[in-house]
A and B are shown apart, each in its own frame.
Chain A
Amino acid sequence: MIHLQQVSKLYRTDRVETTALDNINLEIGKGEFISVMGPSGCGKSTLLNLMGLLDEPSAGSVALDGQAIDRFGDRALSRVRNERIGFIFQQFHLVPDLSVVDNVEIPLLYRRMSNRERRKAALAAIDRVALSSRTHHFPTQLSGGQQQRVAIARAIVGRPGLLLADEPTGNLDSQMGDEIMGILEDLNQKEGTTIVMVTHDPRMADKTHRVVRLFDGRQVQ
């Protein structure tokens, strides 16, 4: 589903050049549940950003579903992000001034749908993460685990084929972390969603199909 070929990412600030990723070759098949592990600063998040089209590689190519997205303009990239990719972040990144259902709706705003259809899809996604009792609550009224569940609902509301999760359980205690992991596993098994998860926790990584290890921007085994 995702194919990274000789991908490198360099950051240049003034006169300092940092290599975040160096010559990464990675292929992820449809329906796989992958974890990416490695120490801090090794480029895990950068890798995820490239896969999620949030950033461009300095060298190499990224292909999604066989399509090379090198020359995609902003509009096209946004379309792909909207329809085929869902994001989950460590800090949740919920909009504090919007209720749960309004937060979940956000990806659907950038698609042509009627308000009623959006509502329906959002409620379905909220139900999927078992948060229906909190539909109209605000993020500040929810626990960490509940907030992450909202974030997941938001990520899946558009039925994307690919879910990218950046340390989704990093801010949660072990019990909530297990809950989240459970939802992800469910999505992968029942709906066949491809999931790439960056994590620190070996327990979580063990539950996935494959582990990709990074060190100083390079793939190691």
Chain B
Amino acid sequence: MTRHLLKLVWNRKRSNALMILEICVSFLVVFVVATLGLFFLDNYRLPLGFEWKNAWNVHVGLGRSEAGANPSGDFAAQQAVYARLLQEVRAMAPVEAVAGSWVVPFDQGGMSSTYDVNGRKVDMDADVVTVGFDKATGLDLVAGRWFEEADASQAWAPVVIDQDLARTVYGAADPVGKNLFDPRPGERPFRVVGVVRDFRKGGELMPNGNFIFRFASLDHPDGGPLRNLLIRVRPGTPAAFEEALVKRMQQVAPDWSFEVRPLPQVRATSFLFFLTPLIVAGTVAFFLLLMVGLGLIGVLWQNLLQRTREIGLRRAAGASRAAVHRQVLLEQIVLTSLGVLIGTLLVIQVPILHLIGVLSNRVLTAGLLAAMAAMYLLSVLCALYPSALASRVQPAEALRYE
């Protein structure tokens, strides 16, 4: 039976071409949306590497831009104020830990670079942080130790890398104590002092990547103060504490500005930023599928109306109503398979052409399967009514006229 139907559908491919095309394009639309959704879902399952529930970020506006293109101010004086700021904040009762950081977790901005490590180009995201950052964000050290102020006077610059980066560069070997690479000729080489669990600065929706922490010493700074403070507050600290915090900070540095954002809020904003396009695309895709489904029902119905004689003939030859019903559904499945096949062939080009480097093959495959399932489901649903109608064709009526 299947072979027969395959031949039937194949011989009719010209008149079915439009339907196959429609199924193919719908498949692609669903594939894109499904893959994006699965991508986020896949990332969401992985551990984050840090704690955000009781963390607050304070953006420090130094009254000047932090871009390197500006003439240098009085770094020493600013750093002194910064160090006092950290001290005063730490002293406040609800504060458990505080540290300075260049980058804000969950935020889209950040530092990323590609370095030449042992002849290979390695991409990594970076942050520059002070002592105490590990406590402020609840980092999980798996080897070595965190930064210490004493590190500032060494001949090398200490870095803490995450497990991803350790695996990429050193494989299974222990990276602690090794010199990672020379960032720039003439500057101190980076030496690994510790390894943390995979750190995903971008948040749960972003994929895993290599991460490196660089050290900003408060005692021996070689640049301006870091523009963010990361504060860990005691669980249950009320939002009202924010006002007291800002007042205290303003006292220490009257001409700096402070913007407090609890990390849960930053996280919510970043989720909104990423998920909104997905939701919009998903809604549009849903309406498109609905439209396609209705069209399919109409076209199928019309097709079967034209094939009344053939159906009557088959009934006369001994096909039961159920057999006719089954045949229509099977034909539709074969048609859908053709459309899905063409779509899949197109999609397979994507990894081959490295069009999207960030989506793993696993996610792409899952997206393909989801799109396939969706198209088969849609097709079968749309074929149910027309096929029921077809099975009710009276053979005598069907074969009578012409």
Contact flag (A, B; Cβ within 8 A):
yes
A residues neighboring B (CB under 8 Å): 45, 49, 52, 54-55, 74-75, 77-79, 81-83, 87, 89, 91, 93, 95, 97-98, 102, 105-107, 109-111, 115, 154, 158
Tell whether, in the assembled complex, residue B310 and residue A87 are in contact, meaning their CB atoms are under 8 Å apart: no
Tell whether, in the assembled complex, residue B318 and residue A81 are in contact, meaning their CB atoms are under 8 Å apart: yes
Tell whether, in the assembled complex, residue B399 and residue A109 are in contact, meaning their CB atoms are under 8 Å apart: no
Chain B 371-402 per-residue mask, 1 if CB under 8 angstroms from chain A, else 0: 00000000000000000000000111001101
Tell whether, in the assembled complex, residue A97 and residue B8 are in contact, meaning their CB atoms are under 8 Å apart: yes
A109 contacts across to B, CB distance below 8 A = 1, 4, 319
Task: Determine the residue in chain B with the shortest Cβ distance to A73.
Answer: B320
C-alpha gap A87/B315 in the complex (Å): 11
C-alpha gap A52/B322 in the complex (Å): 19
B321 contacts across to A, CB distance below 8 A = 74, 78
Tell whether, in the assembled complex, residue B317 and residue A54 are in contact, meaning their CB atoms are under 8 Å apart: no
Chain B 300-324 per-residue mask, 1 if CB under 8 angstroms from chain A, else 0: 0000000001101111111111110
How many chain-B residues does the 8 Å CB contact rule pick out? 27
B20 to chain A, nearest CB (A): 15
A-B contact count (CB 8 A): 74
Task: Determine the residue in chain A with the shortest Cβ distance to B5.
Answer: A109
Tell whether, in the assembled complex, residue B7 and residue A110 are in contact, meaning their CB atoms are under 8 Å apart: no
Interface flag for B11 (CB, 8 Å)? yes
C-alpha gap A95/B4 in the complex (Å): 12
Known A54-B395, A54-B399, A109-B4: A95·B318 in contact at CB below 8 Å: no
Interface flag for B354 (CB, 8 Å)? no
C-alpha gap A192/B348 in the complex (Å): 60
A154 contacts across to B, CB distance below 8 A = 317
Interface flag for B12 (CB, 8 Å)? yes
B399 contacts across to A, CB distance below 8 A = 54, 89, 93
Tell whether, in the assembled complex, residue B4 and residue A102 are in contact, meaning their CB atoms are under 8 Å apart: yes
Tell whether, in the assembled complex, residue A98 and residue B318 are in contact, meaning their CB atoms are under 8 Å apart: no
C-alpha gap A33/B115 in the complex (Å): 94
Tell whether, in the assembled complex, residue B7 and residue A98 are in contact, meaning their CB atoms are under 8 Å apart: yes
C-alpha gap A7/B229 in the complex (Å): 97
Interface residues of B in 234-264 (CB under 8 A from A): none
**Which of these, B11, B309, B315, B322, contacts A97 with CB under 8 Å?**
B11
Task: Determine the residue in chain B with the shortest Cβ distance to A105.
Answer: B4
C-alpha gap A52/B313 in the complex (Å): 12
Interface flag for B3 (CB, 8 Å)? yes
A55 to chain B, nearest CB (A): 4
C-alpha gap A13/B3 in the complex (Å): 41
Which secondary structure characterizes the binding site on chain B? Answer: helix
Known A54-B395, A54-B396: A106·B320 in contact at CB below 8 Å: no
C-alpha gap A93/B320 in the complex (Å): 18
Tell whether, in the assembled complex, residue A91 and residue B12 are in contact, meaning their CB atoms are under 8 Å apart: no
B368 to chain A, nearest CB (A): 31
Top 5 A-B pairs, shortest CB-CB distance: A82-B318, A78-B320, A107-B317, A97-B11, A55-B396
Tell whether, in the assembled complex, residue B323 and residue A110 are in contact, meaning their CB atoms are under 8 Å apart: yes
A34 to chain B, nearest CB (A): 19
C-alpha gap A82/B309 in the complex (Å): 17
C-alpha gap A77/B1 in the complex (Å): 20
**Which of these, B8, B310, B319, contacts A110 with CB under 8 Å?**
B319
Q: List 30 A-B contacts (CB under 8 A).
A: A49-B396, A52-B316, A54-B315, A54-B316, A55-B395, A75-B322, A77-B320, A78-B315, A78-B318, A79-B320, A81-B315, A81-B318, A82-B318, A83-B318, A87-B317, A91-B402, A93-B309, A93-B313, A93-B399, A95-B310, A95-B313, A97-B8, A97-B11, A102-B7, A102-B8, A106-B317, A107-B318, A110-B317, A110-B320, A115-B3
C-alpha gap A30/B307 in the complex (Å): 35
Task: Determine the residue in chain A with the shortest Cβ distance to B13.
Answer: A97
Known A45-B400, A83-B318, A154-B317: A78·B323 in contact at CB below 8 Å: yes
Task: Determine the residue in chain A with the shortest Cβ distance to B312.
Answer: A93
C-alpha gap A158/B316 in the complex (Å): 13
Interface residues of B in 24-41 (CB under 8 A from A): none
C-alpha gap A107/B318 in the complex (Å): 6
Tell whether, in the assembled complex, residue A81 and residue B8 are in contact, meaning their CB atoms are under 8 Å apart: no
A78 contacts across to B, CB distance below 8 A = 315, 318-321, 323
A158 contacts across to B, CB distance below 8 A = 318
